[in-house]
Chains A and B, each alone.
Chain A
Amino acid sequence: MTYREALTKSMQEEMDKNADVFLMGEDIGRYQGTFKVTRGLVEKYGARDNDFNPRVVDTPITEAGFAGIATGAAMAGLRPIVEFMTMSFSILALDQIINHTAKIHYMSNGVVKCPIVFRGPGGAAKQLSAQHSHSMEGWFAHVPGLKVVAPATPADAYGMLKTAVEDDNPVIFYENPGLYSIKGMVPDDPHYYVPFGKAVIAKEGKDISLIGYSRMTHVNLAAAELLAKDGIDAEVVDVRSLLPLDTETIFASVAKTHRALVSYDDWRSGGFGAEIAARISEECFDDLDSPVGRVGGLNVPMPYARNLELLCIPDENDVVKAVRKLL
């Protein structure tokens, strides 16, 4: 099953399980979603009165408006799954998400809950240039009150989306567009919940910990294969959940390998990988045989030309090069 199909299956099962779960976003219904993640759902859950389909709500192109309306619906106890056509467009809704959604529970001291999921593709796809290629997960993971997850595999996409929908707090669910077509085994179990705050070891190794999430987990696995040819045994840590962050698993891996390289798609300066690197530096100083390394996107607005774009997006060669500096 593809990552895309895993997401669709996950949402459909959650919608069947709980009548309060509904989808909202631009072109997710009649058009089936820009990346076809909501394919078939508008037909499955038909319109009620006057063309209004409460379970699959097509919205106007007004991100702040529908992010806010979904948040209000969640305050009243519904469980919206909001799709941003790309996470770059969530920038229009940041006041709603950061100043409202993320604050409700704390400002009301817990008397108002806001169970809502904002999901969509984030990061560079292919030649979408500067305005459509943002990695937003680090921006959101900066905000207390939000949870932020970024699964790398179809099984995790399936199980983490279920966990997100059943969480009583706002969740940012980050999907890299390059992952939609990858395939993997997905458990045939509608109750397969992948908990937040649990990193996994995607590949065991003993010489260095390659730490990343989402697409970078696959890049790190490819880099580990290249390194293996030179006799370097890299461990790959798939962080999966940024907020909450499983520092226990990350630190244990570093304690074992004594070296750490954190890689992420986002701009290198101030991206979420910088936070992970800082935490390792603070907590694992005695375990480290070299400084914590970082690989990130170039600090450049994403250029259109394919050769320039590829320069900006970290790949396995960048990871291998950075590893060699640390060994």
Chain B
Amino acid sequence: MAKQAVKKSPESKEQLEAYYREMLFIRHFEEKSNVAYRLGKIGGYMHTYIGMEALATGWLHSIQKGHDYVITAYRDHAHALILGTDPVAVFAELMGRKGGTAGGKGGSMHIFDPHNGFFGGWGIVGGHIPLGAGLAFAAKYRQEDRVVLNFLGDGAANQGVVFETLNMAGLYDLPCIFIIENNEFAMGTRLEYHAADPELWKRGIPFGIKSERIDGMDVIQMKKDAQRIVDWVRENKKPYFVEVMCYRFAGHGAADNDRQLYRTKEEEAENMKRDPIARLKSYLLANKMVTEEVLEAIDAEELERVEKIYADADAQPAPDPDEVYDNIYSDMKPDLGH
């Protein structure tokens, strides 16, 4: 593993340690959410970020939190957590509780936190991509220097509305970075079976959008590439299209419990060698930046923190029945009840 480590990072030891802590926090948070799902505390659809932690960590540390806008699909816990959303409120939302980010009305797929620049949390594959471009349109309209991180999966890259949006982003020069989190599977359909040309990064080119493919399993390199692209977009006020290669260790959703239908155990084992957390750990140890004991202590602390978050969230009540009509509109309720 140490052989794979990239050349000396410009990031400080403290920063790398913080990434390590953050990625572990996400990993433990997601593993706990899987446990809660199996206990029946979480229902519906839930999609974890296990294996992809370096990607969101690298990107979301490259923007100005709270100033820049972020939007993603339903695999959204990690984005909210890194942006600074109260983790208890996130976990409470997963469990449909009153104190959740959306008072229990959104669930796992619909975490919102606009004060930290997070605009969801969307469930229709590819459907939020024009919304993200619209956030960028607003930044351009008001002549602000915000950039938008518009995350989508490789499956979403085939939706028609994504192409419509790329055309308009290119046409209007919107400061929007389209980030394909290519975890190689559209649910249970492998990239080669859903994309006529699996090199998805090329899809920005016809619209005059700067496009490239990069790796998303190494947080140090991810941060470096993300920072370069974010800075370019902020400076040039134009869109960017990035295909980031990663691998989803977990199933598509919590209900996907037969991954062998679409990939072998051997393939999974091979890819798990690229685990971004183990990779950063090797790097930190190989460069003698921290000791094994320190890293183990971090692991234990984050595990404990997640247990506490879960307990606090689980202590919260369900929403009151009379809240069902609240916030359909900002100023009225429907005129017909039961």
Contact = CB atoms under 8 A, between A and B. Distances in A.
A77 to B, nearest CB: 7
A54 interface: yes
Contact of B106 (A72, A95, A108): A108
A72 B138 contact: yes
Which secondary structure dominates where chain B touches chain A? mixed
Contacts of B142: 78
A7 to B, nearest CB: 23
A67 B127 CA distance: 11
Contacts of B165: 65, 68-69
B218 to A, nearest CB: 31
Contact of B141 (A78, A95, A247): A78
Given A64-B160, A100-B128, A76 B69 contact: yes
A73 B135 contact: yes
Nearest to A69: B134
Interface in B43-83: 69, 71
Contacts of B332: 197, 244
Contact of A60 (B131, B167, B173): B167
A317 B311 CA distance: 69
Contacts of B114: 75, 108, 111-112
Contact of A245 (B124, B167, B335): B335
A111 B164 CA distance: 28
Interface residues of A, number: 47
Among A67, A68, A77, chain B packs the most CB atoms within 10 A around the CB of A68
A166 to B, nearest CB: 11
Contacts of B141: 22, 54, 73, 78
A111 B113 CA distance: 8
Contacts of B167: 60, 62, 65
Interface string A296-327: 00000000000000000000000000000000
A147 to B, nearest CB: 7
Given A62-B164, A71-B134, A168 B127 contact: no
A263 interface: no
Q: Which of B119, B120, B329 has the most CB of A within 10 A?
A: B329
Contacts of B194: none
A74 interface: yes
B102 A109 contact: yes
A105 B327 contact: yes
Contacts of B120: 104, 107-108, 112
Interface string A241-278: 00011010000000000000000000000000000000
B257 interface: no
B134 A72 contact: yes
B331 interface: yes
B335 A244 contact: yes
A68 B131 contact: yes
B168 A144 contact: no
B147 interface: no
Nearest to A247: B335
B102 A107 contact: yes
Contacts of A96: 127, 130, 161
Contact of B137 (A62, A73, A169, A245): A73
B139 interface: yes
B122 A100 contact: yes
Contact of A111 (B102, B130, B161, B326): B102
B130 A68 contact: yes
Contacts of B18: none
B110 interface: yes
Interface string B142-179: 10000000000000000011001101100111000000
Contact of A71 (B101, B102, B131): B131
A147 B101 CA distance: 25
B74 to A, nearest CB: 12
Nearest to A72: B134
Contacts of B12: none
Contact of B124 (A62, A100, A169): A100
Interface string B169-197: 00111000000000000000000000000
Contacts of B25: none
A68 B327 contact: no
Contacts of B112: 107-109, 111-112
Interface of A: 22, 50, 52, 54, 57, 59-60, 62, 64-78, 95-96, 99-100, 104-113, 144-145, 147, 167-169, 197, 244-245, 247
23 contacts: A52-B172, A57-B172, A68-B127, A68-B131, A69-B133, A71-B130, A72-B71, A72-B119, A73-B138, A75-B138, A76-B134, A76-B135, A78-B138, A95-B124, A100-B127, A104-B120, A107-B102, A107-B105, A108-B106, A109-B106, A111-B113, A113-B330, A244-B332
Interface of B: 69, 71, 101-103, 105-106, 110, 112-115, 119-124, 127-142, 160-161, 164-165, 167-168, 171-173, 326-332, 334-335
